[in-house]
Chains A and B, each alone.
Chain A
Amino acid sequence: MRKYSVFAVAREAMRSHKGWEQQWTSPEPRSSYDVIIIGGGGHGLGAAYYLAKEHGITNVAVIEKGWLGGGNTGRNTTIIRSNYLYEESMDIYEHSLKLWEGLSQDLNYNVMYSPRGVMMLSHNTHDMQSFKRHINANRLYGIDNEWLTPEEAKKFCPPLDISKTARYPINGAALQKRGGTARHDAVAWGYARAASDRGVHIIQNTEVTGIRRGPNGEVTGIETNRGFIGAKKIGVSAAGHSSVVMQMADVRVPLTSNPLQALVSEPLKPIFPCVVMSNTVHAYISQSDKGELVIGAGTDQYHSYSQTGGLQIITHTLDAICELFPIFRRVKMMRQWGGITDNTPDRSAIQSVTPVPNLFVNCGWGTGGFKATPGSANLFAWLIAKGEPHRLAQGLTLDRFRTGRLIDEAAAAAVAH
């Protein structure tokens, strides 16, 4: 693989850009692999990359039903932050944030990580108390998070309406300056390119239809629409379809799949300097480098695999955006879509061994999986390679739904993260 650099750009400029290589190869599947990852999103591709890079396991295939990053990796609003309340969550999201900071260099691929600051608006006393508790917990744990007055919030994000007569008045905000955004497609492509370079097979347009088991119950491979492929170990990283894939191995998981919608506006000149989230009125907004306002809505209430959702959900979000940022009232929305999020009862992820030998699962990232991509992938690779969870992911086991050691971010965070 040729390295990307300023010299490469200069060289290609001199010869009509004819020397760029395909970023990853699309080989025919081998008859068997040491590890098969089911799901070619950021988490799955990243796990394959870290298996090759950090654990020396290169006989790996990533099997993807559609195209790379065509699921939730390409459908989210790209918010990155680590200001969670519980240590189990802070551990993994902060691990992830640290990896984000060096990811472009590590992959030799510009993922456009932009630590522009994530500001969470507080609208009432409950929000203020909850956010200050988060700030204190984060700072004690060495994670940056600070309290802003309404005036400081306005200074940080000028389009914000902080007037006392606003429909949703603001009494402060929590700001994580290291939080921000990254380019979602580049994350999938960057991991794919780097993994492919280390010998990982990336197999797209191949649907897993079954998981074959041996005499002792252990996995022996997968059935696909292109035939059987053997595997010593299987890692499932299928987001909203995790229940469907795990059912193929007769493993039940505590997941509910819900649609989550997002939309983008027509492109505008740079006007919005940070990410603003308002969990109370369900509005999440930032501006992409193309100039579009990227807006996230709340989840639809019912279980669905439809990759679409109700219009009333996004209308509600746009109502809130127009109240918080009156300047955007006449902006036109351009595109809208939905992704299928896999939600656990405690709204924390599952990264775990399963009752089936050599079958591992990474799921339950719900509405907040994008920010976790590098950290989750890194620790999932560890789990698959060693057969036991990394220190930072010990709390995320499937077993917590039997022991009761839940990580109750759902109640604690006051957010639909």
Chain B
Amino acid sequence: MLLIHCPYCRDDRSELEFRWAGEAHIARPEQISEISDEAFSEYFFMRDNTKGIAWERWRHIHGCGRFFNAIRDTVSDKFLLTYKAGLPRQPVPGTETAGVETVEGGAA
């Protein structure tokens, strides 16, 4: 079971209190009725599904109830950082730049 730090409650709580809520920093188009089918598909369905460092949303559903963002390694499942919703994409702790996603290894 994961131990997750809620940035609002400022406490490490067990995974049972949280609900995973998909990839983070996907902005809903402002005029969603006017975008093309391709753009809607990209926004609504297509996902990075990153192997390695991923930015994602969690919700402290059985706690404060709020959404927040997290940086987690999807190979080790380790959380690197959690931060409040509304903040821009945060850099990976120990690095300078934000948004550099790494893919570890290939696949067969």
Which of the segments A16-24, A101-109, A160-168, A249-257 contacts the partner chain? Answer: A249-257
Q: In the complex, A312→B14 CA distance in Å?
A: 11
CB-based contact A40/B108 at 8 Å = yes
Question: Is residue A39 contacting chain B, with contact meaning CB distance below 8 A?
Answer: yes
CB-based contact B106/A248 at 8 Å = yes
Most chain B C-beta atoms within 10 Å of own C-beta, residue among A206, A209, A301: A301
CB-based contact A254/B51 at 8 Å = no
Q: Out of A38, A40, A303, A403, name the residue touching B20 (CB < 8 Å).
A: A303
CB-based contact A208/B49 at 8 Å = no
- Could you say which residues of chain A place their CB within 8 Å of the CB of B45? 254, 345, 401
CB-based contact A402/B37 at 8 Å = yes
- Could you say which residues of chain B place their CB within 8 Å of the CB of A247? 103
Q: Out of A244, A254, A302, name the residue touching B107 (CB < 8 Å).
A: A244
Q: In the complex, A109→B56 CA distance in Å?
A: 45
CB-based contact A306/B106 at 8 Å = no
Question: Is residue A66 contacting chain B, with contact meaning CB distance below 8 A?
Answer: yes
Q: In the complex, A305→B23 CA distance in Å?
A: 15
- Could you say which residues of chain A place their CB within 8 Å of the CB of B56? 302-303
CB-based contact B74/A305 at 8 Å = yes
- Could you say which residues of chain B place their CB within 8 Å of the CB of A311? 1
Q: Out of B1, B16, B37, B74, name the residue touching A304 (CB < 8 Å).
A: B74
CB-based contact A66/B74 at 8 Å = no
- Could you say which residues of chain B place their CB within 8 Å of the CB of A248? 106
Question: Is residue B15 contacting chain A, with contact meaning CB distance below 8 A?
Answer: yes
* Interface of A, helix, strand, loop or mixed by DSSP: loop
Write the chain B residue with the least CB distance to A257: B49
Write the chain B residue with the least CB distance to A312: B1
Q: How large is the interface on A (under 10, 10 to 19, 20 to 34, 35 or more residues)?
A: 35 or more
Question: Is residue A207 contacting chain B, with contact meaning CB distance below 8 A?
Answer: yes
Q: Out of B15, B38, B77, name the residue touching A306 (CB < 8 Å).
A: B77
Q: How large is the interface on B (under 10, 10 to 19, 20 to 34, 35 or more residues)?
A: 20 to 34
CB-based contact A243/B108 at 8 Å = no
Question: Is residue A292 contacting chain B, with contact meaning CB distance below 8 A?
Answer: no
- Could you say which residues of chain A place their CB within 8 Å of the CB of B48? 243, 252
Question: Is residue A217 contacting chain B, with contact meaning CB distance below 8 A?
Answer: no
- Could you say which residues of chain B place their CB within 8 Å of the CB of A118? none
In the complex, chain B residues 53-108 whose Cβ is within 8 Å of any chain A Cβ = 54, 56, 72, 74-77, 103, 105-108
Q: Out of A245, A252, A310, name the residue touching B46 (CB < 8 Å).
A: A252
Question: Is residue A65 contacting chain B, with contact meaning CB distance below 8 A?
Answer: yes
Write the chain B residue with the least CB distance to A302: B20
Chain B 1-43: CB-based contact to A (< 8 A → 1; otherwise 0): 1100000000000011001101100000000000001101110
* A78 vs chain B, min Cβ distance (A): 23
Chain A 200-212: CB-based contact to B (< 8 A → 1; otherwise 0): 0000001111100
CB-based contact B77/A244 at 8 Å = no
Write the chain A residue with the least CB distance to B16: A312
Chain A 155-185: CB-based contact to B (< 8 A → 1; otherwise 0): 0000000000000000000000000000000
- Could you say which residues of chain A place their CB within 8 Å of the CB of B23? 303
* B20 vs chain A, min Cβ distance (A): 4
CB-based contact A254/B47 at 8 Å = yes
Question: Is residue A127 contacting chain B, with contact meaning CB distance below 8 A?
Answer: no
* B52 vs chain A, min Cβ distance (A): 8
Q: A303-B20, A303-B54, A312-B15 are in contact. Are A207 and B2 (CB under 8 A)?
A: no
* Residues of B participating in the A interface, judged by any CB pair closer than 8 Å: 1-2, 15-16, 19-20, 22-23, 37-38, 40-42, 44-51, 54, 56, 72, 74-77, 103, 105-108
20 sample A-B contacts, Cβ–Cβ < 8 Å, listed by A number: A63-B108, A65-B106, A206-B108, A207-B105, A225-B106, A243-B48, A243-B49, A244-B49, A244-B106, A245-B107, A245-B108, A248-B106, A253-B49, A257-B51, A302-B2, A303-B49, A305-B51, A306-B75, A306-B77, A404-B37
* Residues of A participating in the B interface, judged by any CB pair closer than 8 Å: 38-40, 63-66, 206-210, 225, 238, 241, 243-245, 247-248, 252-257, 301-306, 308, 310-312, 345, 401-404
* Apart from A252-B47, A312-B1, 20 more pairs, CB < 8 Å: A64-B108, A65-B108, A241-B108, A243-B47, A245-B108, A247-B103, A252-B46, A253-B46, A255-B47, A257-B49, A302-B20, A302-B77, A303-B49, A303-B54, A306-B75, A306-B77, A310-B2, A402-B37, A402-B40, A403-B37
